[in-house]
């Protein structure tokens, strides 16, 4: 008997605690957890230095193209080893190919990376979006020492904008559109532990991870 595969993609507002929720959820379910560590897999897969992936990490590619032609999305063809090797769009293709290969082999939780879009149609895919009250998110990043209290409101707005633009650029979709998710939760009201528990219950109700 094998367990049904489950891939949990988590989109999250900056400072919502989404990464902590994802890590706790993966531990609770006994499956892999990928966030920035997937950049290491990308590097191993492509032979491209990890630093190049960090430069393009969850940031839109050609911003001028995005502003001028925001109704279009980049070509989702296979990654290239040509002259555009380290372009943001090509790095996204490598990242997407790594995600697809992982999805064929194992269950896991993946943070961001437009995974809900990249893996659309994959059996066992569960798409989550986590958000929170802005004041609570500001307080969280200050408490974690990520910036000063004065800098925090600007940082939250900038990071949310970058994630929204990244998602729109590569998918053509609105980052916060409920139609693109199976479950949307306010972490600032529930807390990290209860949010992870609630997602676990959702997964259990729908039979993901059960033996077939």
Considering the domain boundaries, does residue 35 fall inside one?
A: yes
Q: What is the CA radius of gyration of the chain?
A: 17
User: What confidence tier does 21 reach under pLDDT thresholds 50, 70, 90?
Assistant: very high
CATH code of 59's domain: 3.40.50.300
Beta bridge partners of 12: 130
Q: Does 90 have pLDDT greater than 80?
A: no
- Residues with Cβ within 8 Å of 40's Cβ and at least 6 positions away in sequence, in order, are 50
- Name the packing angle between helices 88-105 and 38-46 (round to 10°): 100
pLDDT of residue 39: 60
In this structure, is residue 210 part of a structural domain?
no
Q: If you average pLDDT over residues 60-88, what whole number do you get?
A: 46
Give me the mean pLDDT over the 151-159 stretch.
Answer: 95
pLDDT of residue 101: 86
pLDDT-wise least confident of 7-11, 76-80, 203-207: 76-80
β pairing state of 108-111 and 183-186: unpaired
Percent of the chain predicted with pLDDT > 90: 55
Cα(188)–Cα(133) distance, integer angstroms:
6
Total domain count for the chain? 1
Structural domain contains residue 96: yes
Asked if residue 80 belongs to a domain, the reply is yes
């Amino acid at each position: 008997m094998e367990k049904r595969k489950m891939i949990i993609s988590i989109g999250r507002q900056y400072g919502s605690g989404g990464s902590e929720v994802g890590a706790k959820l993966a531990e609770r379910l006994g499956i892999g957890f990928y966030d920035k560590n997937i950049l290491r897999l990308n590097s191993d897969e492509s032979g491209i230095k990890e630093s190049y992936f960090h430069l393009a990490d969850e940031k839109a590619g050609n911003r001028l193209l995005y502003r001028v032609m925001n109704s279009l999305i980049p070509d989702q063809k296979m990654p290239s080893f040509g002259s555009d090797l380290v372009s943001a769009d090509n790095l996204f293709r490598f990242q997407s190919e790594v995600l697809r290969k992982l999805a064929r082999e194992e269950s896991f939780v993946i943070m961001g990376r437009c995974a809900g879009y990249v893996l659309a149609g994959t059996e066992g895919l569960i798409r989550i979006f986590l958000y929170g009250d802005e004041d609570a998110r500001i307080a969280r990043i200050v408490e974690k020492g990520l910036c000063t209290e004065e800098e925090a409101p600007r940082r939250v707005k900038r990071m949310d904008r970058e994630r929204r633009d990244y998602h729109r650029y590569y998918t053509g979709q609105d980052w916060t559109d409920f139609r693109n998710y199976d479950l949307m939760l306010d972490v600032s009201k529930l807390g990290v532990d209860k949010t992870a528990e609630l997602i676990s219950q959702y997964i259990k109700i729908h039979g993901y991870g059960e033996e077939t």
